[in-house]
Chains A and B, each alone.
Chain A
Amino acid sequence: MSTDFTQDHFALFNLPRRFAIDTAQLDSAWRTAAAEVHPDRYVSGQDAEKRVALMRATRVNEAYQTLKSPVARARYLLQLAGIDTAEETNTSMPAAFLMAQMEWREAIADARAAANVDQLEALSQQLRGDVKGLEAELGSALDEQADHAAAALAVRKLRFLEKLDQEIGDAIEALLY
């Protein structure tokens, strides 16, 4: 195996290893790298080249997907620091957060029962605000305070919010169509 595979995702795209990244620079680096190794470039190439191109293109896409999503990026940074976010196993969340979750669920269920799409859209907006807030927390926990425990908790909270977002979207689609 080539040494390239030991490179972390940030190094692959020539980016600093931190949570706050320049997404435009990420996009452009990904497109440049993807253009170099995309299997379309090797359709009439030799078999060895085709195999390698598939592996490289896969790797470049995986790195991009990981860095593009704030949650995945944070999870990856924690993993590089040797911290497991334990999203499947660690279910102990602060009581206030769990309380807020229940309220969210009730609000979604009420709006759905009342067939109120506008209300659901408003909830979705509000949720986006909460997500932004948590992502800011995540940035300061990772880049400034190096507080891994706080960052891992923020990742777990964001997972809850992702599920809420999914529910709201499903409810809207169920009502509209």
Chain B
Amino acid sequence: MALLQIAEPGLSAAPHQHRLAVGIDLGTTNSLVATVKSGSATVLPDEHGRSLLPSVVRYTEQGEVVVGYAAQAEQSRDPNNTIVSVKRFMGRGLADIQDVGRSPYRFVDAPGMVQLLTRAGAKSPVEVSADILRTLRSRAEDSLGGELVGAVITVPAYFDDAQRQATKDAARLAGLNVLRLLNEPTAAAIAYGLDNGAEGTYVVYDLGGGTFDVSVLALSRGVFEVLSTSGDSSLGGDDFDHRIYCWILEQADLHGLNAHDTRLLLTCAREAKEALTEHADTRITALLSDGLTVDLLLTQAIFHDISKTLIDKTLLPVRKALRDAKIGAEDVKGVVMVGGATRMPHVQKAVGQYFGQTPLTNLDPDKVVALGAAIQANVLAGNKGEDEWLLLDVIPLSLGIETMGGLTEKIIPRNSTIPVARAQEFTTFKDGQTAMSVHILQGERELVSDCRSLAKFVLRGIPPMVAGAARIRVTYQVDADGLLSVTAREQTSGVEASIEVKPSYGLSDDEISRMLTDSLAYVQEDIAARKLREAIVDAEGLIAATSAALAADGDLLDSDERAQLDAAIAGLHSAIATQTTREVNAATQRLSQATEEFAARRMDRNIQQALKGKHIGNL
């Protein structure tokens, strides 16, 4: 047996060494962490062998943060300080939350995103989610025995930019390096497709605790191409619980319940829903705080009747997704069911009827997303498996800009394959206008007020001209995480303004790095020394990569260009010799910029060679 190699702390591992990476399914009801161990994806259990971590966070009287089953057990007793289903509030303002009275929380209307008032102070959903992620991170690090290189975090496909950004912020706050945000149905398709060698058009129907997604994918050898996606980011298993809860209130003639009783009956409702998956009826009993007893019998027939409209609500996005993919239900080869809520027999039946075939339920609907994320994380971390594949995903909602009269002009249509960029030219409205406001929107509706406002910024310094003479080019770029950045540039003068779309309430980078440095994990480290070590590791990596690239494709450069690169490499070597972080980073930056054109030519050569290879293969 070979000896295990242990790299010096702070030094990057040798290339052949397995790099620890995980996939995290940050769910509304439950969260999971999975990894690829000796070639197969597995969910990492806690010390009691439980795979699921209930997405419940409790802030205790002693100032502790308790996450998971222990927090869930106290939710009826301490409803205000025990946060469940926090995912529903990610990237959401108070006005977005339907039926605020339905939650036992005390909401604070912070700019843009709500906060929840607990005994530990006002908590933003990003911070609560970070507490869940931190628990999963330490579970993974304890179990795998090392620091993680990075994580793939899944998000509902139908999450908008604000919700994605909030998720990424939460992961960074938990000290995780986000390799990629991955859409949940796409993650499920990876786990399913790789296991079953699937080819053809598949639909993933993902009904989770609080979100509903549907994606249409074309699976062919080595490629997972998302054709379209649709959904409802506030519809899920929780809503079925709530229907039962309302039925209980109605049957038992209850009014004005306190937070404790509300929580208690919601828990009863969830248990009843789960019981009805296997039984024809179930008894609901509860002792309320005023001594009143609830004792009711709920049958499957009644449950189906009171929740039918919820299932119908999922079929509209299904139809929309098929329409956008330009296919009919009959063209679908298989329907993969994902999410705990798809265990409900009447959900499976309705989906089966719609597609005229029995849905596929052979993978555990609770685990399949985390497993797919782990498989993708393994590849992104550089642990290549025997077979490579490619994921081509789309943006779920159109991105637009506000134009005159409060109307939205679409710039990037929904279901565009990412990464994608699109530019559009605008002009000034008044003579001598020197500034222009850019209002970035997401959604399908025509009126600005019906779309989600992502960000606003102002392009100043436009030279005064007559109305209509200026040419302002606004470019939207969406990266592989589905996150947007926008630049605006006046073409005649070159005045430029740009923004990475951070919803106005998103934590700023400074805030996150301050919270990170404040957190315990970093206190014992000598931060300055660590930073220098990291800078040198990065610099040496860049020199090694550049030298390897020069050895392979040096012929792409003329002698001048070659001399410039060699000089930049030499400059970086002498910067490393100074042992000052600032010098090393600056020289790294210079070399990185100097290699950009070279990298571009190498990629072009690769494309051409790959296409040529393809042609010869086709002949």
Contacts and interface: CB of A to CB of B under 8 A. Distances in A.
A52 B600 CA distance: 6
Contacts of A65: 416-417, 420
A29 B615 CA distance: 9
Contact of A29 (B179, B595, B614): B614
Contacts of A98: none
A176 B319 contact: yes
Contact of A57 (B222, B419, B606): B419
B417 A64 contact: yes
B257 interface: no
A150 B559 CA distance: 51
A46 B600 contact: no
Interface in B581-617: 592-593, 595-597, 599-601, 603-604, 606-607, 610-611, 614-615
Interface string A1-43: 0101000000011100000000001001101111111111001
B69 to A, nearest CB: 34
Contacts of A106: none
A32 B392 CA distance: 12
Contacts of A51: 596
B96 interface: no
A77 B472 CA distance: 26
Contacts of A35: 222-223, 390, 610
A28 B477 CA distance: 25
B592 A40 contact: no
Nearest to B480: A39
A88 to B, nearest CB: 11
Interface string A118-152: 00000000000000000000000000000000000
B147 interface: no
B221 to A, nearest CB: 10
A32 B599 contact: no
A49 interface: yes
A43 B546 CA distance: 16
A4 B391 CA distance: 24
A40 B592 CA distance: 19
Contact of A2 (B390, B418, B600): B600
B599 A38 contact: no
B512 interface: no
B246 to A, nearest CB: 22
A53 interface: yes
Interface stretch (B132-140, B359-367, B379-387): B379-387
Using C-beta atoms within 8 Å of the partner chain, give the interface range for chain A: 35 or more
Given A13-B611, A36-B606, A2 B597 contact: yes
Contacts of B610: 32-33, 35-36
A46 to B, nearest CB: 5
B541 to A, nearest CB: 7
Contacts of A47: 592
A33 B611 contact: yes
B316 interface: yes
Contacts of A32: 607, 610-611, 614
> Of A35, A46, A169, which is in contact with the most chain B CB atoms at under 10 Å from its CB?
A46
B123 interface: no
Nearest to A29: B611
A104 B391 CA distance: 40
A40 B376 CA distance: 9
A54 interface: yes
A58 B420 contact: yes
A55 B597 CA distance: 12
B502 interface: no
B417 A61 contact: yes
A39 B479 contact: yes
Interface string B165-191: 000000000000001100000000000
12 contacts: A32-B610, A32-B614, A35-B610, A37-B606, A39-B479, A46-B545, A46-B546, A56-B603, A61-B420, A62-B421, A65-B417, A169-B323
Interface of A: 2, 4, 12-14, 25, 28-29, 31-40, 43-49, 51-58, 60-62, 64-65, 169, 173, 176-177
Interface of B: 150, 179-180, 222-223, 225, 312-313, 315-316, 319-320, 323, 379-382, 390-392, 416-422, 477, 479-480, 541-542, 545-546, 592-593, 595-597, 599-601, 603-604, 606-607, 610-611, 614-615, 618
7 closest Cβ pairs, A-B complex: A177-B316, A39-B480, A48-B596, A43-B380, A52-B599, A4-B604, A2-B600
